[in-house]
Structure 1
């Protein structure tokens, strides 16, 4: 039996609540919001949840609802897990108090993109795990609400391992490594190899257009590939395969990518700067998979 990792001693308070009825949702949400509203010198709390659960809160809070921000979760979680990290970081930068003080109640859309496949689910569990590292310096209090009627027992069990208050918390790096241990399908035998050690934007754009991506998407994909390549350093070539929307580029590096947060740390400004190519790629692409292989690595970018 593996002994659960000790919860991290950081200002970031990352909690989990599981509910299977309207009354159970309110039983978890209302005390959390009361705690937030009673917190001195803290901005109004924010609830990102299913529209029906927001209606429940409006009725239960009455006049106090004016002190709570309410956002339908289908308007917040509109893309990948990496997009959700950017959304959260942006909200904290704009609205949190000193040191990141704010209460957030967050209900992922497990009936939508997040739960549509085991691969997509793994991306979101990784996001939940790495949040413990990404937001560790901030005095943010987050309650992740899981509707077990939608998420199901396997997702709930996996999510418990990413939340320090559950008793089965796993070290985020270890959990991310476990998710990355699932092998990726090998590149197809007819994958196109780009000339040169590093891919040229024109070559990627031309290839993507020929394989069905519209011009603007081909431009984004080419930029993601070339910016990621620049951030990764020396390469040993690149492969391209697939058809729109699932165009794929695999970059072969000459060194390992040991940082589990590579491409997840929000940049200090909206302008892309040198070294931030993996962040841009994660924001643009549906999947960015990093696999260390001995002293080298492969980094696979899938656009759609």
Structure 2
């Protein structure tokens, strides 16, 4: 696979800024927002950042602050990386100009979910890489702001590989494939087999383990949606884990292959059955997919 040019080229302008001081943040953010304010046929730019950085922006912008939509990143990044895809897609659909034209300043919340573990960081880098493909058709200009005071050197180095304006940029498909190189840990010996992963059976199992009824229903529906998308299945579904970290592993006779599987927003605006892997990714904390010569293994973890 090529490592030079991006897999898909389009109008999406995906940039990265790295800073370690308040002045450094303003030096990156203010020219970007000014560019957005001056752009024709665009709505006001949006700044999604740490509350303290938003205060810095308001003070520096003065009267122009009223023309910038400011959103605390703790309000924007409230779930998984797949949830962030849905949030961005929904915002573009509802607020962007023609062709998706809008300037978005995006600061990840490294004090929240994205930075709480190496696993979460991996999922965030996956999102940053796939954004180059998911939003390629949109004439959106995004500046991802990385604060070295909250994001460590390894995170910044990995993020540079996901942004086309850096000298470390890597083909998104290659980067995502590298993230999936580590094998999944084997299921525990006491995993519960289900010959057929019916929603009612999975829901009963999850509720019996102590998962609240509404969450058990969400998890079971996610399993059912995934099973339908992967059919035909081979072998039983395997269930294990303690609430809220309930896990289901499914084995398909078909390879999934598409790295965007479950990340492309469906036409329906709300979360509802019939959306396959998209539903599962929106509900579950993690959806791991591993292809091999005999098909695919898909593992869902609720939380």
2:207 aligned residue:
209
1:71 correspondence with 2:71 = yes
2:252 aligned residue:
253
Moved more, 20-29 or 227-236: 227-236
Q: SS at the partner of 1:146? A: strand
For 1:300 and 1:4, the matched residues in 2 are separated by 29
1:97 correspondence with 2:97 = yes
2:230 aligned residue:
232
Q: SS at the partner of 1:235? A: coil
2:267 aligned residue:
268
For 1:161 and 1:195, the matched residues in 2 are separated by 42
TM-score (norm 1): 0.96
For 1:276 and 1:180, the matched residues in 2 are separated by 24
1:29 correspondence with 2:32 = no
1:5 aligned residue:
4
Q: In the alignment, is the contact (CA less than 8 A) between 2:17 and 2:28 conserved in 1?
A: yes
1:293 Cα offset (Å): 1.7
Q: SS at the partner of 1:108? A: coil
For 1:108 and 1:226, the matched residues in 2 are separated by 32
1:149 Cα offset (Å): 1.0
Relative to 1, partners in 2 of residues 1:115 and 1:272: Cα closer, same or farther, differing over 3 Å?
A: closer
Segments ≥4 residues shifted beyond 3 Å? 271-275
1:152 aligned residue:
152
Unaligned runs of 5+ in 2: none
1:122 aligned residue:
122
For 2:9 and 2:270, the matched residues in 1 are separated by 33
Aligned residues: 301
Deviations for 1:59-103, whole angstroms, at most 9, x for unmatched residues? 000010111000000010000000000000000000001100000
Q: SS at the partner of 2:259? A: coil
Unaligned runs of 5+ in 1: none
Deviations for 1:133-181, whole angstroms, at most 9, x for unmatched residues? 0000000000000001111100000000000001110111110000011
Q: In the alignment, is the contact (CA less than 8 A) between 2:104 and 2:142 conserved in 1?
A: yes
TM-score (norm 2): 0.97
1:135 aligned residue:
135
For 1:6 and 1:165, the matched residues in 2 are separated by 12
1:276 Cα offset (Å): 2.2
Moved more, 225-234 or 50-59: 225-234
Deviations for 1:211-242, whole angstroms, at most 9, x for unmatched residues? 11000000000000001111122111210000
**How does 1:105-116 map onto structure 2 within 5 Å?**
105-116=105-116
Q: In the alignment, is the contact (CA less than 8 A) between 2:41 and 2:98 conserved in 1?
A: no
Moved more, 241-250 or 272-281: 272-281
1:272 Cα offset (Å): 5.8
For 2:153 and 2:271, the matched residues in 1 are separated by 40
